[in-house]
Each structure stands twice: as structure tokens, then as C-alpha cells.
Amino acid sequence: MGSYVSLDKPLLGELVDYSNPATNGLIGAWLFNEGSGGKVADVTENGNKSTLVNMTPATDWIIDEDGHALDFSTGTTRHVKVSDGKITNATFGYIEVVLKIKTLVSGDKIFSYGGGNAGTAGLFGLEVRQDTDWFFSVIQRSDSGATNIVHGDTQIVTGVKYHLILVSIGSAWFIYLNGKPEGLSVQLGSNNGNWIGDTTVTAPSETQIGGLMFDAVQGNAFNGNISFAAIGTDILTNNQVAKRAANFKAPFRLAEPSPIFVPAVAGAGTGLFEIPHYMRGGFNPMHGGFSA
């Protein structure tokens, strides 16, 4: 399966256009286009501004095909803290990520929540998993210790940019890679579709990008780069996923006439990535932006 490559990324300060149906249920979206500093801004109106933890901004901010990205690969405790506890209590939804693996390590987390004390620690994670070969996987563990692991069927490799979406309908998970549905294999337990609002996980400590808090210990840092992440409560269809993967210039920048982002009021065109002609104008002040 070919790699996902975007041509540009929305500028720092661009705003989510909530008139676009592709934003339905959007809880958080992180563009990783700051390029410096200790924060990653959430460009939605929910303000989930996130913090780099155990990272070195001067060296961990990098440039890749999408522009700025964060490199999580140089330490096992590196992560971005999104929120205390669960970011949502929804029982269905999606997680979307654009990433590149540098080293394959089973159990490395891409998006997760977890925490708790040893023996009573539930968790949820989108991850890299080895089951003879290497795959993208979802893992869910209840406070009781009952664990479910389900992975896709595409053998993943290092050095390739992937567009990855995990969807739950509340009773089953679906994994999409570069816009195509994966065949799923149950490695442990069952495909029960338990989501962020899973009530069998009562008190996780943190929601994170690129790592996991488990049994009160931080670890499982993703060995690679992440240039985009989002989470929402919409149940994406195969067609919606395919459109997002095929039509993006960067995540959430769909083909005209209705891009998901509108330009920033100030500084448009002054960053690394120029706004395409169809993006100019149309600022919507009703939905506020974010501060760097």
C-alpha cells in the first residue's frame, strides 16, 4: 500500500470551518504546525491545548512531507499530554492520525488514555503491534484486566507516511489505512468496539498522543513522527474515510469549494505553507482560533 503524502498544511492560526460536514462531532484536532515551543494547539473551539512532556522542543520539532511534526522516537517516556482523564465520554467515534514510523516496537502508542494503579489499570490505545508481522492495532483493557487486541492486515514498515483512521460504532472497531478498510484479526479477546467512554475503565489518568500512562508508569512512546491527530464522535463511513484520505492536501483541507479550514485573520501567507487560492477570504469569526 502506498504512502500518504500531502502537499501543504494549514498555517498556524487558521480556523476550523464548522459549516463543513466533515467537522461533525469534532472534539480535537492538532496540526503540529507550531514548529517550536512546548505546546501543540487544538484548532477546534474546544481548546484542548496540549503539552509536550519529557521532550526537547529544540530537537523534537522536525520538518517532514507535511511540514512540522513531532519526533517521539528518542525516549520511552516522551508524549503530548492532551487532557487529564478521558477527553470524551462518548461510546463511539474516530481517531485520525498522520504518522511515520522510524523503528517498529510492539505496543508503542499513537493515541491513548490510561493510568491507575498496578492491578487495576484500564487503558485504551491506537498502537503499533507485532503478531508475527507488524500492524496497526487497537488495544482495550478494562479495570478488571480483561484485554482485547485487534489489528489490521497491512504489514506496516518504517519510513513510510501513513494516514490512519480508527472507527468505533460502539460494538465493533474498524481500521482504515490510506483510505482503505483493513481486514481485521483478533489477537486477544474480541472486537467489542469499546471506546473512550468505556465504563469498564473508570479513572484513567491522562489522554495522550504518542505515549501511554499505564499502571501509574509512563512509557510506550511512539517510535516515529506524528504530523496530525484528531478525535471526533462522528461514525465515519467507508466513503467518508476514502474522501478524507484521497482529497486532502493536508488533513482537514478538502478539495474546494468547502475546505475545513479558513485562513487566519493575521499572518496568512507568512508561514512555511502558503494558503491555496480557494482558501483566501471567508473568515468566520464565530468559531475563534487558538493562540500559539
Question: What mean pLDDT comes out for the span 244-266?
Answer: 51
Most confident of 45-59, 197-211, 245-259: 45-59
User: How confident is the model at residue 149, as a pLDDT?
Assistant: 97
For residue 12, how far is the Cα from the chain centroid?
Answer: 18
pLDDT score of 13 more than 80: no
User: How confident is the model at residue 82, as a pLDDT?
Assistant: 93
User: How confident is the model at residue 31, as a pLDDT?
Assistant: 87
Which is more confident, 81 or 44? 81
Question: What mean pLDDT comes out for the span 30-40?
Answer: 90
Q: What is the pLDDT of residues 67-113, one digit of tens each?
A: 889 999 988 899 999 988 889 889 999 999 999 999 999 999 999 98
- Which DSSP letter does residue 22 get? G
Which is more confident, 182 or 34? 182
Nearest to 229 by CA among 105, 83, 106: 83
pLDDT grade, residue 116 (50/70/90)? low
Nearest-angstrom CA–CA distance, 145 and 122: 7
User: How confident is the model at residue 199, as a pLDDT?
Assistant: 74
Which is more confident, 245 or 148? 148
Q: Which three cell numbers stand for residue 180?
A: 482503505
Question: What mean pLDDT comes out for the span 233-245?
Answer: 88
Which is more confident, 184 or 20? 184
pLDDT grade, residue 38 (50/70/90)? very high
User: How confident is the model at residue 9, as a pLDDT?
Assistant: 66
Percent of the chain with pLDDT strictly greater than 90: 48
Cis peptide before 257 (omega within 30 of 0): yes
Are 260 and 253 within 8 A, CB to CB? Answer: yes
Nearest-angstrom CA–CA distance, 121 and 71: 27
User: How confident is the model at residue 96, as a pLDDT?
Assistant: 93
Question: What mean pLDDT comes out for the span 158-182?
Answer: 95
Nearest-angstrom CA–CA distance, 97 and 111: 9
Question: What mean pLDDT comes out for the span 60-69?
Answer: 87
Cα radius of gyration rounded to whole Å, the chain: 18
Nearest-angstrom CA–CA distance, 98 and 57: 20
CA distances from 200 to 27, 65, 79, 113, 148 (A): 22, 39, 25, 13, 12
Give me the CATH code for the 26-238 domain, please.
2.60.120.200
Residue 283 backbone dihedrals phi, psi, to 5 degrees: -60, 135
